[in-house]
């Protein structure tokens, strides 16, 4: 008789376990255990510009003296470099990294373009000789540089840091000159994957 009662109790516990076990496990998962196994939120390596800077119409001169405006930047992801008085080691590293990263995008490389803002024709000629894919823009009063400077100052950017402009003409990311190229590549791949334009 005692064994029958014991078996009945075991069966009752099993039935309760079948119904309450999953609920108990779900509560533990919801309130803590699940966080251990959930993937960490993906993060970008390059700092974002918050809020984004919406570029207004501008005009700059290219090396060949033809005009370039906001429409040239729209429709593609654009990396903009700002040259100092001279392009030193950090400047050359930044230009090299963005060039190699763009090439590493493979079939998506044509979705990204690069431009540089320079102070003189001679400076742009020297830089352009090593970077055939680089758009060469001269600084002029009221040009693109005028719109970028408040952002450069507010974020305390280095002279050799580059900026990324989205296909709608919004400055949305800073590319530090010393950013690991593999990290930049991951950021760009992520943006291109998520982007429906450009």
Q: Per DSSP, what are the bridge partners of residue 165?
A: 78, 171
Q: 86 and 26 share a domain?
A: no
- 11 in the same domain as 101: no
Query: How many other C-beta atoms lie within 10 A of the C-beta of residue 33?
Result: 11
Total domain count, the chain = 2
For 98-119, write each residue's pLDDT tens digit. 999 999 999 999 999 999 999 8
Q: Is 186 exposed, middle or buried (0-12, 13-18, 19+ CB in 10 A)?
A: middle
Say if residue 12 is in the same domain as residue 70: no
Q: If you search the block for the tokens 């402009």, which residue do you land on?
A: 165
Instruction: Tell me, yes or no, whether 43 lies in a domain.
Output: no
- Are the beta carbons of 71 and 113 closer than 8 angstroms? no
Do 29 and 56 reside in the same domain of the chain? Answer: no
**pLDDT-derived band of residue 16, with 50, 70 and 90 as boundaries?**
low
Give the residue with greater pLDDT, 64 vs 48. 48
Supply the DSSP symbol for 55: P
**Residues 53 and 131 both lie in one domain:** yes
pLDDT for position 34: 46
H/E segment holding residue 119: none
- pTM value? 0.77
Mean local confidence (pLDDT), 156-185: 96
* Separation of first and last alpha carbons in the chain: 79
pLDDT at residue 143 is higher than 80: yes
Q: Which domain holds residue 175?
A: 48-194
Assess whether 27 and 109 both reside in one domain: no
Contacts of 130 (CB under 8 A, 6+ apart): 95
Question: Six-digit token pair at 166?
Answer: 């989205």
| pLDDT tens digits, 173-185 | 999 999 999 999 9
- Which range among 11-20, 35-44, 84-93 shows the weakest confidence by mean pLDDT? 35-44
7 and 93 in one domain? no
What is the C-alpha separation between 6 and 12, in angstroms, rounded?
Answer: 10
**CATH number of the domain encompassing residue 162:** 3.40.30.10
Answer yes or no: do 116 and 22 share one domain: no
Cα–Cα distance for residue pair 112/195, rounded to 1 Å: 12
**Domain assignment of residue 1, yes or no:** yes
Q: Answer yes or no: is pLDDT of 196 > 90.
A: no
Kindly report the number of other CB atoms within 10 A of residue 177's CB atom: 20
Q: Which has more pLDDT, 198 or 97?
A: 97
Per residue in 61-97, pLDDT (tens digit) is 998 889 999 999 999 999 999 998 889 999 999 999 9
Q: Which of 118, 51, 60 is nearest to 91 (CA)?
A: 118
pLDDT (0 to 100) of residue 36: 44
Integer Cα distance of 98 and 177 in angstroms: 9
């Amino acid at each position: 008789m005692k064994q029958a009662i014991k078996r009945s109790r075991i069966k009752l516990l099993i039935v309760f376990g079948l119904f309450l076990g999953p609920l108990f496990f779900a509560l533990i998962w919801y309130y803590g255990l699940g966080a251990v196994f959930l993937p960490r939120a993906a993060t970008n390596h390059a700092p974002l510009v918050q809020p984004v800077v919406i570029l207004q119409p501008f005009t700059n001169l290219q090396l060949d003296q033809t005009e370039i405006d906001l429409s040239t930047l729209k429709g593609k992801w654009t990396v903009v470099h700002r040259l100092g008085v001279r392009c030193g080691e950090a400047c050359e590293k930044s230009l090299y990294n963005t060039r190699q990263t763009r090439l590493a995008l493979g079939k998506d490389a044509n979705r990204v373009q690069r431009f540089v803002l320079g102070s003189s024709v001679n400076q742009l000629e020297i830089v352009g000789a090593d970077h055939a894919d680089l758009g060469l823009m001269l600084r002029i009063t009221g040009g693109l540089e005028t719109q970028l400077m408040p952002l450069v100052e507010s974020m305390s950017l280095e002279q050799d840091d580059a900026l990324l402009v989205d296909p709608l003409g919004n400055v949305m990311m800073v590319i530090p000159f010393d950013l690991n190229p593999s990290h930049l590549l991951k950021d760009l791949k992520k943006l291109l994957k998520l982007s429906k334009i450009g």
